[in-house]
Structure 1
Amino acid sequence: MKMTKRSLNILLATAITLLTAACDNGYETIFNESPDERVEQALNEYSALINSAPYGWKASLYTEAGAGYFYYLDFQEDGNVNMISDFNTTTAGNSMAGTWVLKALQKPTLTFDTYSYIHMPADPDGNVNGGTTGEGLLSDFEFTFVRSAGDSVIMKGLKHKTELYLVKATEDETTAILGDDILHILQSTNGYIADNAGLKLQLPGNIVVPVAIDVAHKLFAVQYLSTDGTKIETFIAPFTFSLQGIVLKTPASVNGNTFRELYWNDDEQVYVAQLAAPTELFNDTEPFLFHPSVPLHSVIGQRYKKVYLPENPEENRLPGQSDAFVQAYNEAAEGMLIGPYQLTLHDMAFSFDAINKLMYYDVIIAQTRDGVTSRFLAQFVYSYTIDETGHVKFTAIGGNNNAQVIAFDLRVILQHFEDDTFKLEYIAGGFELISGFYSQEKPEYSFAGYLGN
């Protein structure tokens, strides 16, 4: 339809009338307050919430890198905050003062604006927290409010989405925290882990599972056979310390048994899991072997393509590494170091090619000249066969030039590949699975490494 000049004038007049009405001082807005007034009201409400815990807050912080940490936070109306943390023994035993402020960003945001214990997981210096240099443990020190209910507040980090849970502390809890009870639990656990390298938990039905506790990164793990018995499962969860012991972020559920806390028995100096009945963890340093219905030799090179051995097994000893293997490694390392090239022996890896039935034995060596250290790869190549009983036999077929340089010094290890057959076994490794290689001709000789892809 063609618009006439008269129709256009009518539309313009109508628009002007509506615009005038919208700008009229008598126009009713949706909110009674201005945007600034609403923001100020929200900040006041959250400030009152933060200051509503007369004895402070117990807090659990979980970073995006997977670590968990306990905090005690006592906010003051003047913008100061006192805190305790289980980050390490210093932070657990010494209260630190910091400052806090509420900001009106996209959402009301709680910011810890001076460096304090809560910044330590977020510190980009990996030497501070064991994280990646430049990123730390992917944690935060600015948090938005998600929701509150009763005595609890849930918050989320602004940058890395770190989870922060606050629960009001009681007077007795605050007294215990400030009285070094968290420090005591932390120190006791450090000693307990140092003295118990093979922790196990016996479930109802006489099912034994290995567990691992990493105090530095606050991680807990338990390994067990899947329900159908075909593979090994590994449950890993961050934890924080509490006045009673250890609290997992998510409950561990193993063969129908669920638990979330481990309670520290100070009299017996043991950790206890609350299953159908209180059950103490026990120590057994013998390698824990899994026997799923799908054996390791049938999936090596497919589900798992690499076996990694950390350097210096005398200090970085893995379950399944015999004294004979450690002695052989040390003998090879000494020979390389005093040899004409003055080489340092580092880590090793075994890569399996299941299609071509080849195994690549990679050895990392290093040489220092004029203060500069260079690393090199020495690679030995083997073919392999697996018989009907699962025994693996290796046959040497070559290697690169670096392999020829170190072959004499490494002969104490290489001779076992030439002379022995090996039985492959799954070994519990805490947070990772381990492959054990057990010589059938020389029972005193076995080596082991982390399974990977």
Structure 2
Amino acid sequence: MKKNKINTYQLLVALFLLILSSCQDNSDPDLLFEDTPTVRIEKAIKELEESLQSSENGWKMTYFTDNTQLGGYTFLFDFISNSEVKMDSDFGTPDASKVSLYDITLGSTVKLTFTTKNVIHELSDGANSPDSDLVGQGYRGSFEFLYFKKEGEDILFKSNRDRDNIIRFTKATADDWTNLTTQNKAMLNDNIPNKPLKSVFRNLTIENNGQITVYDFSFNKNRRFATVTAITKDVAKKTLALEFHQHQMDLKLVQE
């Protein structure tokens, strides 16, 4: 009987030591990182702040808010401090000398928000629409961007309005700031006017493996968007979102 009591006592001690060892196991998820979640978030915010201010000539963003019905808009940002930014654009009514505010905070992830009104807000203003079909929707843009990741020197965000829309910030050059108005807007305003007699801008020719297809080219200047219908039989209708920069026009095929 005494032997059984001793064995029971030894068993209890062994169980206690086993439980104590389990409690000290460093497999807890929080302990897989050197820092606490709060510290990691603070570091991510700080790293994004420093990245945004690190580019000598700021950042360039080409923003296709909805490439099924709208074209691309180019923005330049100069983050001059932890809270102040200057911006220019080939869209809306920009003032490159204007200083507005931005903030980097934690939402569902680290979020860049342009907090005071500037030209970027004209994309998201429901009262500012390209035509009657988009009244209340505006240009379907956002002024809040969710930090996604860094890719080389580029910074990738997701639009807070459309989280499937990946937006890339690339380092801008001094020429980008000069060319934005003198070349981008000139391309839009002068080279593709809404004049039906300008036949060179009313047809689009595409060559694919030696096969040439001619399309009727219908351009919506306000939307920077084109609908092209094949004059050749048995060829699908296509829509194109347009991006303007320097002395050329980029056509981005988005739907067949």
Secondary structure at the aligned position of 2:31 is classed as coil
Displacement of 1:129 = 4.4
CA gap of 1:249–1:111, structure 2 versus 1, over 3 A, is farther
> Quick check: which one's helix share is greater?
2
Distance 1:48 1:250 in 2: 36
Q: Which residue number corresponds to residue 250 of structure 2?
A: 247
Cα deviation, 1:313-348, whole Å, max 9, x if unaligned, reads xxxxxxxxxxxxxxxxxxxxxxxxxxxxxxxxxxxx
Q: Which residue number corresponds to residue 4 of structure 2?
A: none
1:81 aligns with 2:85: yes
Distance 2:176 2:110 in 1: 29
CA gap of 1:100–1:250, structure 2 versus 1, over 3 A, is farther
Cα deviation, 1:188-240, whole Å, max 9, x if unaligned, reads 145x33364651134556643222322211213322268xx4x3412213222
1:149 aligns with 2:151: yes
CA gap of 1:78–1:43, structure 2 versus 1, over 3 A, is closer
Distance 1:147 1:66 in 2: 27
Q: Which residue number corresponds to residue 223 of structure 2?
A: 217
Corresponding pairs, count: 234
Judge conservation of contact 1:43–1:108 (CA < 8 Å) in 2: yes
> Quick check: which one's strand share is greater?
1
Q: Which residue number corresponds to residue 187 of structure 1?
A: 189
Judge conservation of contact 1:57–1:167 (CA < 8 Å) in 2: yes
TM-score normalized with structure 1 length: 0.45
1:171 aligns with 2:141: no
The AA in structure 2 aligned to 1:32 is E
Judge conservation of contact 2:205–2:214 (CA < 8 Å) in 1: yes
Q: Which residue number corresponds to residue 140 of structure 1?
A: 142
CA gap of 1:211–1:182, structure 2 versus 1, over 3 A, is same
CA gap of 1:98–1:245, structure 2 versus 1, over 3 A, is farther
Cα deviation, 1:251-280, whole Å, max 9, x if unaligned, reads 899xxxxxxxxxxxxxxxxxxxxxxxxxxx
The AA in structure 1 aligned to 2:224 is K
Query: What is the root-mean-square deviation in Å for CA atoms of aligned residues?
Result: 3.5
Larger radius of gyration: 1
Structure with more contact order per residue of length (Cα contacts < 8 Å, sep ≥ 6): 2
Distance 1:216 1:100 in 2: 28
CA gap of 1:17–1:222, structure 2 versus 1, over 3 A, is same
Judge conservation of contact 1:123–1:129 (CA < 8 Å) in 2: no
CA gap of 1:243–1:145, structure 2 versus 1, over 3 A, is same
Secondary structure at the aligned position of 2:43 is classed as helix
The AA in structure 2 aligned to 1:108 is V
Secondary structure at the aligned position of 2:237 is classed as strand
CA gap of 1:81–1:150, structure 2 versus 1, over 3 A, is same
Equivalent of 1:72, from 73, 76, 85?
A: 76
Identity, % of aligned positions: 21
Q: Which residue number corresponds to residue 200 of structure 1?
A: 203
Displacement of 1:16 = 9.9
CA gap of 1:225–1:40, structure 2 versus 1, over 3 A, is same
Which stretches of structure 1, 4 residues or longer, exceed 6 Å deviation after superposition?
none
1:121 aligns with 2:127: no
Secondary structure at the aligned position of 1:123 is classed as coil
Distance 1:79 1:146 in 2: 20
The AA in structure 2 aligned to 1:157 is S
The AA in structure 2 aligned to 1:116 is N
Distance 2:130 2:212 in 1: 39
Judge conservation of contact 2:204–2:216 (CA < 8 Å) in 1: yes
Q: Give ranges in structure 2 of 5+ residues lacking alignment.
A: 1-7
Displacement of 1:34 = 1.6
Q: Give ranges in structure 1 of 5+ residues lacking alignment.
A: 1-5, 254-453
Q: Which residue number corresponds to residue 160 of structure 1?
A: 162
TM-score normalized with structure 2 length: 0.74
Secondary structure at the aligned position of 2:39 is classed as helix
Judge conservation of contact 2:239–2:253 (CA < 8 Å) in 1: no
Distance 2:215 2:55 in 1: 41
Secondary structure at the aligned position of 2:100 is classed as strand
Judge conservation of contact 2:153–2:171 (CA < 8 Å) in 1: yes
Displacement of 1:55 = 1.0
Judge conservation of contact 1:86–1:186 (CA < 8 Å) in 2: no
Distance 1:218 1:163 in 2: 20
Cα deviation, 1:384-422, whole Å, max 9, x if unaligned, reads xxxxxxxxxxxxxxxxxxxxxxxxxxxxxxxxxxxxxxx
Secondary structure at the aligned position of 2:54 is classed as coil
Judge conservation of contact 2:90–2:184 (CA < 8 Å) in 1: yes
Distance 2:22 2:152 in 1: 48
CA gap of 1:247–1:97, structure 2 versus 1, over 3 A, is farther
Distance 1:52 1:140 in 2: 24
